[in-house]
Amino acid sequence: MNRSGLIAAGLRAEDVIGKSFDQTFWWSYSEPAREQLRAAMARAADGEPSRYDVQVRVAGDTLVWIDFSLNPVHDVDGRMAYIVPSGNIIHERVLAKEAVEAAKVRLDHLAHHDALTDLPNRMLFQYRLNQVIELAYRQGRQIVVMFVDLDQFKHINDSLGHAVGDKLLRSVAQCLLGCVRHSDTISRQGGDEFVLLLPSITHPEDAAICAQKILTALALPHYIDQHYLHISGSIGISIYPDDGKDGETLIKNADIAMYFAKENGRNNYKFFKQDMNDHAVQWQSIETGLRHALERQEFVLHYQPKINLKNGAIIGVEALIRWQHPERGQLTPNQFMAIAEDCGLILPMGRWVLREACLQAQSWQRAGLPPVIVAVNTSALEFRTKDFLDNIRTVLKETCLEPCYLELELTESVLMQDAGPIDAMLHTLADLGVRLSIDDFGTGYSSLSYLRQFPIGTLKVDQSFVNQMCSNPDDAAIVSAVISMGKSLKKRIIAEGIETQEQYELLLAQDCDEGQGYYFNRPLEAQEIATLLQTSSSLIAN
């Protein structure tokens, strides 16, 4: 027997000489190694040579791999005479093999996981989903698939850079992992889309609880590169077997439901319903149509008067976009704005609205009408673009509108971004002379200290409170609290969505300065506003 063979057996030369094979080779290695040897010896005894790699421990506890063989030698009559064991140290070869194996495992992992978040990817998700469906089919159980899409993620990516966007996605992945059970699967499908598989949910209500938990967790600020980033998500839920018998359908339907959550104002969840399919087709066609609407000049602005509640004078108008759809007629913002935000088209649309509104305000003035402030709705997405301020300055200059006649209606979500840069931007705008107001006030989470710090002139009490204030004492209390708080912070207060005389009178009694709503006027065409400005000094019927 050669040296490696001895090492393989963990023996010294003197251990072998003069001893029988059995006595010699009954070493103390691991049970699998012994098993291997037993089998090899049995084969050798039958005259069959065997060869295998075995890992053995040699002096100093080093592990080496030995290419070990047992070769039977036959006598001249063909009978088995003795067995020759031999071994060669092959640890480099085996180590290389191990490296290849490790690389294979790694590649396999990469093929099934998302490189950024290390979550299972689309392929692995599909595989697990199919497996779980099979099991659920046999056991007659339900499965939940959840499609989570971040709201306005694209903009964070565009404005703060991809490195921040990537970190945010990782942070979101961690956040999602914290919301589900170990047995659930969270995958990243690409972009800002995550799909969850909850195989052990027994009631749809549990899916709702889980979705709400995710929304709450996502809403906490993500601290990334010195930025506190606020993000929300929209979630669509589909349930096996009702909403789809196969994985692909379940994911597609959860995706459709997710779009409805977005359409419903984002930061919420929706369960899939069969009639959503038709709407999803419409959604797609709206997105396609929107892409051409600007160049085909299909947008128009309508203007709704804002009035002084005490004397009925028109103090301003709010520009509200309408889309003259070639086939579907006039569409209002809630039918297309969410889609426009989602695909980024809101940015060129917003620039068009601003220019058009300023041109219109200027043209009313040139026609000799009493000057009114024109208010333009500004989404958080637009506000965050780098050239937002430059664009305002350029438009004001080119349209020759004095800045004091332009008002920007911001949403509370604008104030919830990084306080530093927002503060600077708001002050620059205020220094320019542009007026600022907070739209839909009361529906977001404005911090009161921000209200004091930022140069916001006006709070627009959200119409949902106004709408209910005569029937619901809680809403009446909120309106009254906003009015008195606004006054003590020296803000103007405007109530939107006034529809009835009762609401108007109640607001007046609570000392609300200004109002807007169908009770006075619906949004009107520019020409109708001109007529109104020309003919009536007060919109309040005596």
Using CB under 6 A as the criterion, which residues of the chain lie in contact with ligand C2E when the complex forms? Answer: 304, 320-321, 332-334, 337, 350, 353, 377-379, 409, 439-440, 463, 496-499, 516-518, 523
Of ligand C2E, Mg ion, none, which one does residue 521 interact with (CB within 5 to 8 Å by kind)? none
Q: What is the spatial distance between Cα 526 and Cα 17, in angstroms, rounded to a whole number?
A: 111
Its sign, for the CA torsion 317, 318, 319, 324, is negative
Nearer to Mg ion, 240 or 405 (CB): 405
Task: Tell me whether strands 50-58 and 62-74 are parallel, antiparallel or unpaired.
Answer: antiparallel
Task: Tell me whether strands 492-496 and 514-516 are parallel, antiparallel or unpaired.
Answer: parallel
- Residue of the chain from 151, 409, 412, 514 that contacts Mg ion (CB under 5 A): 409
CB of 494 to ligand C2E, least distance (A): 11
Nearer to ligand C2E, 227 or 322 (CB): 322
Q: What are phi and psi of 122, to 5 degrees?
A: -55, -40
Nearer to ligand C2E, 247 or 517 (CB): 517
Stretch that binds Mg ion, among 11-19, 374-382, 412-420, 484-492 (CB under 5 A): 374-382
Stretch that binds Mg ion, among 118-126, 153-161, 353-361, 373-381 (CB under 5 A): 373-381
Task: Tell me whether strands 406-410 and 435-441 are parallel, antiparallel or unpaired.
Answer: parallel
Angle at 69 between CA 65 and CA 70, to 5 degrees: 145
The answer to whether the bond into 49 is cis (omega within 30° of 0) is no
Of ligand C2E, Mg ion, none, which one does residue 353 interact with (CB within 5 to 8 Å by kind)? ligand C2E
Q: What is the spatial distance between Cα 226 and Cα 185, in angstroms, rounded to a whole number?
A: 31
CB of 324 to ligand C2E, least distance (A): 14
Stretch that binds Mg ion, among 36-44, 78-86, 159-167, 376-384 (CB under 5 A): 376-384
CB of 382 to ligand C2E, least distance (A): 7
Q: What is the spatial distance between Cα 324 and Cα 322, in angstroms, rounded to a whole number?
A: 6
Of ligand C2E, Mg ion, none, which one does residue 337 interact with (CB within 5 to 8 Å by kind)? ligand C2E
CA neighbor of 173 nearest in space, from 148, 144, 152? 148
Q: What is the spatial distance between Cα 80 and Cα 261, in angstroms, rounded to a whole number?
A: 80
- Consecutive H or E run containing 271: strand 269-271
SS3 content of the chain, % helix, strand, coil (to 5): 50, 25, 30
Q: What is the spatial distance between Cα 297 and Cα 290, in angstroms, rounded to a whole number?
A: 11
Of Mg ion, ligand C2E, none, which one does residue 334 interact with (CB within 5 to 8 Å by kind)? ligand C2E
CA neighbor of 394 nearest in space, from 367, 355, 437? 355
Nearer to Mg ion, 241 or 457 (CB): 457
Judged by CB under 5 A, does residue 475 bind Mg ion?
no
Its sign, for the CA torsion 231, 354, 523, 316, is positive
Stretch that binds Mg ion, among 109-117, 122-130, 377-385, 524-532 (CB under 5 A): 377-385
Nearer to Mg ion, 255 or 439 (CB): 439
CB of 271 to ligand C2E, least distance (A): 25
Judged by CB under 5 A, does residue 377 bind Mg ion?
yes
Q: What is the spatial distance between Cα 437 and Cα 460, in angstroms, rounded to a whole number?
A: 7
Nearer to ligand C2E, 117 or 377 (CB): 377
Residue 139 neighbours by CB distance under 10 Å: 8
Task: Tell me whether strands 435-441 and 458-461 are parallel, antiparallel or unpaired.
Answer: parallel
Tokens of 109: 């992992």
CB of 466 to Mg ion, least distance (A): 10
Strand order of the β-sheet with 62-74 is: 50-58, 62-74, 80-89
CB of 521 to ligand C2E, least distance (A): 8
Amino acid at 532: L
- Residue of the chain from 341, 412, 439, 475 that contacts Mg ion (CB under 5 A): 439
Nearer to Mg ion, 188 or 306 (CB): 306
Q: What are phi and psi of 528, to 5 degrees?
A: -65, -35
Nearer to ligand C2E, 151 or 184 (CB): 151
Of ligand C2E, Mg ion, none, which one does residue 117 interact with (CB within 5 to 8 Å by kind)? none
CB of 400 to ligand C2E, least distance (A): 21
CB of 188 to Mg ion, least distance (A): 35
Of ligand C2E, Mg ion, none, which one does residue 332 interact with (CB within 5 to 8 Å by kind)? ligand C2E
CB of 495 to ligand C2E, least distance (A): 10
Angle at 386 between CA 430 and CA 160, to 5 degrees: 120
CB of 265 to Mg ion, least distance (A): 12
Stretch that binds Mg ion, among 30-38, 188-196, 361-369, 401-409 (CB under 5 A): 401-409
Judged by CB under 5 A, does residue 514 bind Mg ion?
no
Nearer to ligand C2E, 302 or 491 (CB): 302
Determine contact, residues 224/190, Cβ cutoff 8 Å: no
Q: Applying CB under 5 A, which residues contact Mg ion?
A: 377, 409, 439-440
